[in-house]
């Protein structure tokens, strides 16, 4: 497995905070000496991580996006499998299962934003199908602002089968759709939960929809017919957070 390129201040700060042993080398923009960079360099020095200054063109060629003057070469994190997911869900001594499922999200900016919101909401894992979905790219990591190192992204071969297994483990599956009668504020979002979001425009696939226990819509007062999937996911996850806090 080849080394990962991580870039951007937030993403690298999070990586240094959560898994400094993965960082092989830091490459920083020549002449950048501001306070934020000094903080990152101090952490790197504390962990004995090699640092080298590079011209902007070198960093531009390494990073697929705005690197903000810093790039890290890192060992890849251990990818969690479907079996890890079921072990996580089955361990009820830990937090009540709270999962986000994304069916057909192919835009890396949307996936990164969803992972960032999932981290803020306390979601334990984001689940995507192996086909018809973007993976954990450099852009996803950058947009996620470090959350990609704290919230596992689990790719599954058959999403409908995974949802069925989650249901058999006691997880309620709530999907989002535009033409149903129950809105997200009426949906039961407490207890073991997986929130399912479909791709913009197409929504959930038929088999995914059929494996939902409930379907709910997000009420909207304006003229826009749909929301960006990352915004919609954030609304649904934090409604679940609200309900769960009231239920404690």
CA atoms of 6 and 63, how far apart (whole Å) = 8
32, 57, 150, 195 from 126: Cα distances, Å: 35, 34, 11, 10
CA atoms of 232 and 186, how far apart (whole Å) = 16
89 close to 166: Cβ distance less than 8 angstroms = yes
Instruction: Check the annotation: does 227 bind a ligand.
Output: yes
132: left (phi over 0), alpha (psi -120 to 50) or beta: left
Neighbours of 181 (CB within 10 A): 8
Which residues are annotated binding-site positions?
A: 198, 218, 227
Which residues are annotated binding-site positions for S-adenosyl-L-methionine?
A: 198, 218, 227
């Amino acid at each position: 497995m080849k080394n990962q390129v991580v870039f951007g201040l937030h993403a690298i700060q999070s990586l240094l905070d959560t898994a400094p042993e993965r960082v092989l080398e830091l490459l920083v923009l020549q002449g950048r000496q501001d306070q934020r960079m000094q903080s990152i360099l101090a952490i790197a020095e504390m962990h004995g991580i090699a640092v080298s200054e590079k011209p902007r063109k070198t960093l531009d060629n390494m990073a697929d996006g705005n690197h903000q003057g810093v790039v890290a070469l890192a060992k890849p994190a251990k990818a969690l499998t479907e079996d890890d997911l079921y072990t996580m869900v089955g361990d009820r001594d830990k937090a009540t299962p709270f999962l986000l499922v994304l069916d057909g999200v192919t835009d890396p900016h949307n996936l990164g934003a969803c992972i960032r919101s999932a981290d803020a909401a306390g979601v334990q894992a984001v689940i995507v199908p192996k086909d018809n979905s973007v993976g954990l790219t450099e852009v996803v990591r950058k947009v996620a602002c470090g959350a990609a190192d704290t919230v596992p992204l689990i790719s599954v071969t058959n999403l409908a089968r995974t949802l069925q297994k989650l249901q058999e483990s006691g997880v309620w599956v709530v999907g989002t759709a535009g033409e149903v009668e129950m809105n997200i504020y009426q949906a039961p979002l407490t207890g073991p939960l997986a929130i399912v979001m479909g791709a913009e425009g197409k929504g959930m696939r038929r088999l995914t929809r059929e494996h939902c226990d409930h379907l709910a819509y997000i009420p909207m007062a304006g003229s826009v017919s749909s929301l960006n999937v990352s915004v919609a996911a954030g609304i649904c996850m934090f409604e679940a957070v609200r309900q769960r806090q009231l239920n404690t």
